[in-house]
Amino acid sequence: MTRNDSPKPNNFIHQIIEDDLSKGLNDGQVVTRFPPEPNGYLHIGHAKSICLNFGTALRFNGRCQLRFDDTNPEKESQEYIDSIIEDVRWLGFEWSGEVRYTSDYFEQLYAWAIHLINEGKAYVDSLSAHEMREFRGTLTEPGKNSPYRERSIEENLALFEKMRNGDFSEGECALRAKIDMAAPNMNMRDPVIYRVRHAHHHQSGDKWCIYPSYDFAHGQSDAIEGVTHSICTLEFEDHRPLYDWFIENLPVPVKPRQYEFARLNLNYTITSKRKLKLLVDEGHVNGWNDPRMPTISGMRRRGFTPASIRNFCDMIGVTRSNGTVDMGMLEAAIRDDLDANAPRAMCVIDPIKVTISNLAEGEQEWFELPAHPKDESMGLRKVPFTRNLLIEREDFAEEKPKKWKRLAPGDAVRLRGAYVITCNEVIKNEQGEVVELICSYDAATKGENPTGYKPNGVIHWVSADNSVACEVRLYDRLFTEANPDADKNRDFHEFLNPESLKVMVNARAEIGLKHAVAESRYQFERNGYFCVDPDSSEQHLIFNRTVTLRDSWAKIQAK
C-alpha cells in the first residue's frame, strides 16, 4: 500500500482490532482484504469498503489483499476485473502481494467439500431448484429434509465426482451442507455449496463444470490467505453463522472472524449492480463510466479526485446503523478539494457576441490574471481583450428584473479582470432573438473604479477572436427522486432525470486551455468545476461539469 496517512479517529472495527491486539490474538497481525465480485464496475459504496479495508491495514501496519470472488463465471468478465484493479489504484491504494482469485483455490475448495461429505456434513441433492425452494420453508415455518439427505457417504462421493466430470446437466443436482432445515436463520437450512454450471471461466477456462457458492468459497478463501478480520457490509450479517460453521467444520489453516458495518446509501442514486447494468444495457447512460453513474470510473471521468472520495468516506464514518447520506455531502467534498486545488479559467458556455465599438479591429491587449486567487504558486494566466468578445447569454437581459447585477441596455458591467463596458445597442435577427450587443469600453477602468457611474456587477468573458472552441457537458443528478427505489409500486426508471445531461456545443474557453490534458480540472469562473473528458483532443476539446459552485438541489428540497 502506498498511502500512509496519520491515524484517523477510532471506529468500532478499529476498536475491535485494538482489543484483539491487546490480547495477543492473531500473533499481532492484521490482515484485511477487499474481495469484489467481478460482475460489474465498482461504485461509491465500494469506495467506502476499499477505504475501510485498506485504511485499517495501514493504521495497524498490516496488509490488505485484493481478491476477486469469481465463483459465478456467467456474470463475470475480464473487463470488470481490469476496471476494478484500475479503480483501486486510482483511489491511492496498493494491495499486498499479487492479485488473488477465489478460482486459484478451486482444487482446495473441492477437497474441502469432499471432507464435508466424508464427515457426513454434506450431501448431493437431486431436488430441482423449485423443489428446494418449497422444501426450504419460510421465515415462520421450518423447512423439510430433502428425501436425498440421508444418502450414504459413498453414494455422495460418487455423485459429487460425477458432478465434477460433467455427467449432470445444470440444475439436475447440487451439493448441500447438512446443517439444520429447522434453523431460524434461513441461511443455515442446508445451503447449496456446489452447483453444476457448464460455463467457461475467465481464469480457469473449461477446467470446471461445477462452481462453489459464494458463501462456501468466501470464508475459506479468507482462511487460505490468512485474513484476520473479514470486514463486510451488514447485508452479510445473517450469513455470519454460516461463515463460522464452515470455518469450524473444515481443517482451515487460520480462523478469520467476520465483522459487519453499514453500507453506504446515497440519495438520488442507486448502487445495485443489476440495476446499474440495466441502465448501461438499455442505453440510458453511455457506459459504466458515464459521468452520471455512481461508479468510481464514472466519478473519475466527471472530475472527482481520489482525495475527495477518500475524504468523503472519512466524513461519513463507519457505523453499524443503516442510513442514507445526502448527495450534497459528496458534492461538498469535491467542492472543497477543487476550490483549493483547481486553477481558474473563463469559459462562456452559451455565448452571445459583444462588439466593442471603440476598439479597432485587430487590436489586442493581454491581461494577466491569477491562476488561483488564493495560491500564488499557481502563477498567472494571460487572456486577450479584443474588439469581438463573447459573454454568457444569461448575463444579458433586455428587460432587466429587480436587483439585476449583469448587463442590460444602457447599463455597465465590469468584465472580470479587464475593463468596464456599457451596452449601447442591441441587434436582433429576423426571429427577434438577440444575436449581438454593441458596447463601448472605458479605457480608464483598467484596475480602477469608474468615475461618475457604477458598474452593475462583474461577468466573465472570452475573446471571440482568440479563444478555443469546446463542447461542454452539463451533468446533473441521474434521478429526480431522493430515493428512486422507495416506492415498490413504481419502477426506478420512472425517476430518471431528463435534464441529467445537457450538451453545449458552441462554448468557448480562454485560449490558455487549448492544450488542456485529459482529467485536468478547472473552476470555470461563475459556472462551476469542470474536467477535461478523456475523449478530448486539441481538435475537439470536451469539458464535463463536475459540480456547480453551490448546491442548487438544497434549494429545491427546501421548497
Q: What is the 3-state secondary structure (H, E, C) of 318-341?
A: CCCCCCEECHHHHHHHHHHHHHHH
Cell 415498490 sits on residue: 488
Task: Please state, in angstroms and rounded to a whole number, the distance separating the CA atoms of residues 421 and 218.
Answer: 68
Instruction: Give the CB-side neighbour count of residue 527, counting CA atoms within 13 A.
Output: 32
Comparing 71-75, 113-117, 193-197, 319-323, the range with the smallest average pLDDT is: 319-323
pLDDT for the residue 6: 45
pLDDT tens string 437-467: 999 999 999 989 999 999 999 999 999 999 9
| Active-site residue (options: 178, 257, 273, 473) | 273
pLDDT (0 to 100) of residue 551: 74
Note if 273 is an active site residue. yes
Instruction: Answer yes or no: is pLDDT of 323 > 80.
Output: yes
Q: Provide the 8-state DSSP code for 234.
A: G
Above 90 in pLDDT, residue 553? no
Farthest-apart Cα atoms in the chain, separation:
103
- Mean pLDDT (whole number) for 57-83: 97
Please report the pLDDT score of residue 324 as a whole number. Answer: 92
* Residue 555, pLDDT above cutoff 90: no
Yes or no: say if 521 and 530 are a contact pair by the CB < 8 Å rule: yes
Q: How many helices (H) and strands (E) does the chain have?
A: 13, 27
Helix (H, G, I), strand (E, B) or coil at 405: coil
Would strands 501-510 and 347-348 be described as parallel, antiparallel, or unpaired? Answer: antiparallel
Average pLDDT rounded to a whole number, residues 158-168 = 98
CA-based nearest residue to 45, from 322, 279, 239? 322
CB neighbourhood size of 346 (10 A): 27
CA distance 425 to 438: 5
Grid coordinates given for 339: 476550490
Structure confidence at residue 406 as a pLDDT band (50, 70, 90)? very high
Rounded distance between C-alpha atoms, residue 187 and residue 136, angstroms: 10
The pLDDT value recorded for residue 556 is: 53
**Radius of gyration of the CA atoms of the chain, in A:** 30
Residue 361: partners with Cβ closer than 8 Å, 6 or more residues away: 387
pLDDT greater than 70 at residue 9? no
pLDDT recorded at residue 232: 95
- What's the pTM? 0.93
Query: For the residues 292-319, what does the mean pLDDT come to?
Result: 97
Cβ-contact 530, 513 below 8 angstroms? no
Task: Name residue, grid cell 496498493.
Answer: 94
Distance (Å, whole) CA 330 – CA 299: 11
Q: For the segment 491-511, what is each residue's pLDDT rounded down to a tens digit?
A: 999 999 999 999 999 999 999
CA-angle at 350, arms to 375 and 390, nearest 5°: 70
SS3 (DSSP) at 119:
coil
- Whose CA is closest to 466, among 320, 318, 323, 366? 366
User: Do 345 and 381 contact (CB within 8 A), yes or no?
Assistant: yes
Supply 403's cell numbers: 436587483
- Rounded to 5°, the CA angle 26-32-34 comes to 160
Residue pair 47/298 in contact by the 8 Å Cβ criterion = no
User: Quick check: 117 pLDDT over 90?
Assistant: yes
Q: Is 446 an active-site residue?
A: no
Which residues have C-beta within 8 Å of that of residue 490, sequence separation ≥ 6?
none
Alpha-helical runs (H) found in 40-148:
44-59, 78-90, 106-118, 129-136
- First-to-last alpha carbon distance for the chain, in angstroms, is 46
- What pLDDT, in 10s, does the model give residues 352-398? 999 999 999 999 999 999 999 999 999 999 999 999 999 999 999 99
- The residue behind cell 457417504 is 153
Q: Residue 396 carries which DSSP code?
A: B
Q: How far apart are CA 455 and CA 447, in angstroms?
A: 13
Cα–Cα distance, 455 to 497 (Å, whole number) = 38
Q: What is the mean pLDDT of the chain?
A: 95
**What's the average model confidence in pLDDT over 410-419?**
96
DSSP 425: E
24 is written with which cell numbers?
495477543
Half-sphere exposure of 359 (CA within 13 A, CB side): 22
pLDDT over 60 (residue 110): yes
The rounded distance, in Å, linking the Cα atoms of 404 and 408 is 9
Among 121, 136, 162, 263, the active-site one is 263
Quote the distance between the C-alpha of residue 458 and its chain's center.
Answer: 36
In this structure, are residues 499 and 385 in contact, taking their beta carbons and an 8 Å threshold? Answer: no
CA angle 55–61–62, rounded 5-degree value:
80
CA distance 191 to 143: 12
Give dist(CA 406, CA 398) in Å, integer. 11
300 carries an active-site annotation: no
User: How far apart are the C-alpha atoms of 433 and 448, rounded to whole Å?
Assistant: 34
Q: Measured between alpha carbons, how far is 524 from 488 in angstroms, rounded to an integer?
A: 41
Q: Which residues contact 333 (CB under 8 A, 6 or more apart)?
A: 308, 309, 311, 312, 315
**188 and 180 Cβ atoms separated by less than 8 Å:** yes
Is 521 in contact with 508 (CB distance < 8 Å)?
no
